């Protein structure tokens, strides 16, 4: 049985803010992955890498430098059993693609098109496993990993906007850092929903600014006069999928980094997965 997080934070000296923090605890669907022969993965199962299981009318997406790499597919009917907040579609499939040449990190409005998230609201019986496009280089084809799912509590990172807005004093900052680090089971994490395991700081403001046309590869976007108005929508963004540098699949994002697919809550509720924004962070 997990400890009551409020009581645990109170015991660490966070009584002033423990209730506020607890309101931002979310559910995440942890994806524990391991490499297998792809033939062992049934058609339509959630997986990372490999070849996608798609309907007849599927067209493999392209980016600016050719075909995108297939990253993962999510069986939403099975994932919904672990979606305690009930924010995902209850059936269908999500397919994630990204330009594995990694020329787009998500800080430039021009990066749009370097990833795709495709939603298919059908049944597994309508799917077929297709081969990689002939022109997709071998290094852009990832090995298949089977996935086991489980629900876990997800806490805002110590350097997230949810903690920053609480104006913690030095002792509280140290206490929450210790609390948060104690909740991280390991340094490797693939997940659906929840809070991101961020490497280079909070991403929600970046998603909001860049998706609205502001360049955030330097300070210019953050200093733009439009920021003040746009900032009102920062908390609308939520993590959809986080994929780590997955050794078994042959994925390496920057220097042992992660890719994060973000979506606004309203777009998620209305299945507008063409509105997803992606960010790559690394160490």
Q: What is the DSSP letter of 46?
A: -
Instruction: Enter the pTM of the model.
Output: 0.96
User: 85 is in which domain, residue-wise?
Assistant: 5-281
pLDDT, position 2: 54
Please report, for the domain that includes residue 257, its CATH number: 2.30.320.10
Q: How far apart are CA 106 and CA 240, in angstroms?
A: 15
Contact 54, 84 (CB under 8 A): no
Could you tell me the mean pLDDT of each successive run of 10 residues in the chain, 283 residues long? 84 97 97 95 97 97 94 98 97 96 94 97 96 95 97 95 97 96 83 96 97 97 97 97 94 95 98 98 94
Q: 10 Å Cβ neighbour count for 189?
A: 19
What's the number of domains the chain is made of? 1
pLDDT, position 1: 40
pLDDT, position 153: 95
The structure tokens listed for 179 are 């609390």
Q: How far apart are CA 31 and CA 147, in angstroms?
A: 6
The structure tokens listed for 272 are 């507008």
């Amino acid at each position: 049985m997990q400890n009551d997080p409020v009581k645990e934070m109170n015991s660490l000296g966070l009584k002033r803010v423990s209730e506020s923090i607890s309101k931002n605890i979310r559910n995440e669907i942890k994806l524990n992955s391991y490499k297998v022969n792809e033939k062992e993965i049934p058609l339509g199962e959630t997986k990372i890498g490999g070849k996608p299981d798609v309907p007849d009318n599927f067209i493999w997406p392209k980016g600016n430098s050719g075909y995108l790499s297939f990253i993962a597919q999510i069986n939403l009917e099975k994932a919904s059993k672990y979606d305690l907040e009930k924010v995902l579609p209850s059936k269908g499939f999500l397919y994630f693609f990204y330009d594995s040449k990694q020329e787009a990190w998500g800080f430039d409005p021009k990066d749009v098109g370097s990833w795709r998230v495709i939603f298919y609201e059908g049944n597994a019986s309508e799917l077929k496993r297709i081969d990689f496009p002939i022109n997709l280089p071998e290094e852009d084809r990832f090995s298949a990993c089977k996935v086991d799912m489980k629900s876990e509590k997800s806490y805002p990172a110590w350097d997230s906007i949810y903690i920053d807005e609480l104006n913690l004093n030095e002792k509280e900052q140290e206490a929450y850092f210790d609390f948060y680090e104690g909740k991280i089971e390991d340094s490797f994490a693939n997940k659906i929903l929840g809070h991101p395991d961020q490497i280079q700081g909070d991403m929600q403001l970046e998603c909001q600014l860049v998706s609205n046309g502001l360049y955030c590869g330097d300070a210019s976007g953050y200093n733009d006069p439009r920021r003040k108005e746009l900032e009102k929508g920062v908390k609308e963004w939520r993590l959809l999928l986080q994929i780590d540098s997955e050794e078994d699949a042959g994925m390496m994002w920057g220097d042992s980094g992660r890719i994060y697919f973000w979506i606004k809550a309203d777009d998620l509720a209305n299945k507008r997965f063409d509105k997803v924004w992606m960010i790559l962070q690394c160490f």
